[in-house]
Every structure is written in C-alpha cells, then in structure tokens.
Structure 1
Amino acid sequence: MTAGATKTARLVAEAAAGAALEEVPRRVCAAVCEGLGMDGTTLSLLTDTPSRQLLAASNEAALLLEEIQFTVLEGPCISAAHSGEPVAVDDLRHELTPWPLFGATVRERLPQVESVYALPVFFGDYVLGSVDLLACRPHALTKEALEQTSQVADAVAAALLPTRQMLLTGAEAPAWEPEQVVRAHWFDTARAIGALVARRGLSPENALALMRAEAFRTGRSLADIATDILREPPPTS
C-alpha cells in the first residue's frame, strides 16, 4: 500500500471511532479529503440505482458533482458502482470522457475541477456505494495511488458497517450531517417522486425521468425541482 493510502485508511478509521452514527459519513469524507489531498469528496449508497442515498458531501463543489451525475444518469461514480472498479478522469480539461453529458456539464458548471475519481465501496461481494473525489488539478492521483485506493474503500466500508446493517433491516435512517443537505438531495427527491406518481399516475421510474429531464432542461438541481413539486397544492377532487 502507498503511504497516502495507508494514512488515509488510518484517518478514516480514526474519524469513525467513537463518532455518533449521524456524524460518520461527514467525518469519513473529511478524512478521505485530507489523506488523499483532494478538494472535495462525496459518499453515497446504492449509487447506480433509483434508490441512491447521498450520505455526505464535503463542500458545495462535491455536492454539485454528485447532483450532475444523478441528473444526467452517467459519470464516474455511477460507472464505479456498476463495474466494481475504480474510475479515473485525470484531466477533465483535455480528455474526452465516456460520458458526454457528464463531461460537458462538469466543464460548464465546475470549471475549477480538473480531475475526478470514483471508488466502489464493497460490502462483502456486493457494491453498495461509492466515494467520489475531485481535485482542482490534473492527475491528482497517480496510477499506483489509484490502484491502492481499494484499501481506502475498505476502510470506508468498515466505518459504514453500522449504517449498512441499519438500512438493510429497514430501520429509520439517522439525520445525516449536514442534515439539510442530505434531506434536500435524497428524502425530498423521494417524496417528490411519490407526489408525481400519485398526481399523474406515473411509475416511479418515469417520475424520476421526468424530474431529471426538467433539471437538465433548466440547469437547476433535482433538489430544486423536488422543492417545486412539493410546493404545488394537491389536486382538488
């Protein structure tokens, strides 16, 4: 393991040790940022499914990166969760990415971001989440460093083990920190999907597709679209 991966895995374990459950994702994101020298980190579960749950974003740039991928339904974190392999975009300014909508949108809305990495988080044999990393410089991780990030992802999985067990048993999720961010970018989106299903007779998949299309058309976030839907008065009978 490289020194950076060793340090980061240790920082993640220390960040989670003794922390309240609702604080763990935020503290893990901060530890990954510090250990790997990144400028932003996000952590999510069920990343490549309609049931995606954002657990934490270290800053506004990281949150916007996550929003873009969830809106256009493509990008490194979705690919990493689907394939089970780390994904690297070493030079976003000069590389063509395999995700045309993602690449164009990130260049427009996050011009300061020059490299992006995504790490799958395994629980046993299954990928149940991902860590997204962004940096304001190209080639922020060497090839060797990226190969060793599985050790970091393992440390993240260990830190999140109580979270995984809680979600699998159907227990109510804690108020992840920052609560207002996670609520806006997960809970309210799910409620808005339910509202469209009830009002328009859509399937949940089609309701989410409609929200994504509106977000992409207007350049607004899914959280904003969800807020508008939830503010609409229910139809009168």
Structure 2
Amino acid sequence: MAQPERDERLARAFLDLADTLTGGFYLIDFLHVLTDHVVNLLNVAAAGVVMIDAHGRLVDVTASTGSVHQLEQVQLDFDEGPCRDCCYQHESIGPMDLSGPAARERWPRFSQAARDAGFGTVAAVPLRLREESIGSLNLFHIHPDALDPASVRLGQALADAATIGILHQRLANDQAERVGQLQTALNSRIVIEQAKGYLVARLSISPEDAFARIRAHARAHQRSLTLLCEQVMQGSAGTELFAIPAAPRPDV
C-alpha cells in the first residue's frame, strides 16, 4: 500500500472511531468498524474484540472472521488466552509465537486451537482509558513471529481511539442505556448468527463464507451489519444479494 493511501486510510480510521455521538449507534457495528480498520491497516490476518460486562465477566463480542469468534469462545470456555490476560492485567500481551514453548505452557489449549485454526502469532491490546478497562483487541497473524512492534503500537492506538469513542457515547446516554449497551451488542450477535445460519441453509455455503458475504455487502453498501442481518431474517434482504462470494483478501 502506497504511503499516501495508507495515510488517508489511517485518518479515516480515526475519524470513524471518533464518530459515536450520532443517532443509530450500534456497539457491535462500531466494533466491526474497528476490526475492519485493524485488518486493513495492520500486518494482521484477523482481529477480534472481547469486552467486560457489568459483572466483570468476559464476553465474546465481535471478530473479523468466524474462526476468530471460535477462538475467543475457546478462551472464555478454558479461561486461558491472550484476551483474558490482557483484560485482567490491563496491559498488552505478546506478540507470542503460538508454536513456541512460552505460549504452549501459558495457554496449552488455546495455543493448540489457534494453531489448528491456521494462526502462528497472537497479540492482545487493552481497550483502556487511564484506569478503566472495558475489554481487549486481539490480533492474529498466520505466520510465527510475524507481528512487528509497529503493528502492535498502531493496534493500541486504534483500540485507544475506539475506547474513547465508546466511553463518550456512554456518557451521552442515561444509566439504563449504558448498562444495556453491551447486552444489545450480544443480542445483535444472535441476529448475525441467525442470518449466517439462514444463508448457510439457503446457499449451501460454509458459516465462514456466509459471514464474509454479509460483512462484504454491509461494507460495500455502507449499511449497518445488525440491520442488514435483521432484514435477512425478516425477508426484506433476499439471498440473491449474497449469491456472489466475497472477494478474498490477500494473505499477509
């Protein structure tokens, strides 16, 4: 990517992450914007976000691919992994070679699952403002020892911008809405999973492909991912909109 184009994309990313005080704010859509920018700007293959709910529990909110969604759930089920450590220690984790002894000893089940999913390196940076931590951004690369420090630093900068945007949006709403924001995001996850399942059944494609096609259509038409999935389930967005596979992203 040429430097002027990269600079323009970087400026757009920070503008997008600051734009949270508008009507129709959906947390899960906002976090998908974050992961899209992370994958486009950093030298990573995929990204995901885990957040801390009102009871201090970790919840898998969003990811750029279905396989990363599954890995985030592995971390929650086994109570081990970079996002867990990042959230509770309030500091960045890695990059770590998933085939190396440090990762295999620290996260034996997660590191095996991540390698099985085709990833070689992982890092996590906190969604944090001063002493308040609301979650973590997880970065994955397909090659071992492939995440460079500059990419992790940029990932932290994007995570910081997203955290400021989320917290500003929360301050603009009343307490009840703030408490319900994460629950709304989880409800959106259910709608997205339902829409994926519907396309899998109707188009005879994989869940990963269904997820990629929905995200690609939402990005191309600048539509809310949540609202698009609701329209799929209501029948107002026909399956013909998703009949063409999403363009593959070059390996990084």
TM-score, length-scaled by structure 2: 0.59
Q: Which residue of 2 aligns with 1:15?
A: 16
Q: Which residue of 1 aligns with 2:42?
A: 36
Give, in angstroms, the shift of residue 152 of structure 1: 2.5
Map of 1:141-152 to 2, 5 A cutoff?
A: 141-147=147-153, 149-152=155-158
Give, in angstroms, the shift of residue 24 of structure 1: 1.0
The alignment status of 1:106 with 2:107, answered yes or no, reads no
* SS in structure 2 of the partner of residue 176 of structure 1: helix
* SS in structure 1 of the partner of residue 125 of structure 2: strand
Contact 1:77 1:130 in 2 (8 A): yes
Contact 1:25 1:160 in 2 (8 A): no
Q: Which residue of 2 aligns with 1:192?
A: none
Unaligned 5+ runs, structure 1: 185-237
Higher relative CO (CA 8 A, sep ≥ 6), structure 1 or 2?
A: 1
Once residues 170 and 163 of structure 1 are traced to their aligned partners in structure 2, the CA distance between those partners, rounded to angstroms, is 13
Unaligned 5+ runs, structure 2: 194-252
Specify whether residues 32 and 177 from structure 1 end up closer, same or farther in structure 2 by C-alpha distance, changes over 3 A only.
farther
Specify whether residues 127 and 143 from structure 1 end up closer, same or farther in structure 2 by C-alpha distance, changes over 3 A only.
same
Give, in angstroms, the shift of residue 181 of structure 1: 4.5
Contact 2:98 2:111 in 1 (8 A): yes
Identity value in percent:
19
Q: Which residue of 2 aligns with 1:69?
A: 75
CA RMSD, aligned part only? 3.3
Once residues 182 and 167 of structure 1 are traced to their aligned partners in structure 2, the CA distance between those partners, rounded to angstroms, is 24
Contact 1:74 1:102 in 2 (8 A): yes
The partner residue of 2:142 within 132, 136, 159 is 136
Q: Which residue of 1 aligns with 2:30?
A: 24
Q: Which residue of 2 aligns with 1:205?
A: none
Which amino acid in the other structure matches residue 133 of structure 2? V
The alignment status of 1:59 with 2:68, answered yes or no, reads no
Specify whether residues 6 and 154 from structure 1 end up closer, same or farther in structure 2 by C-alpha distance, changes over 3 A only.
farther
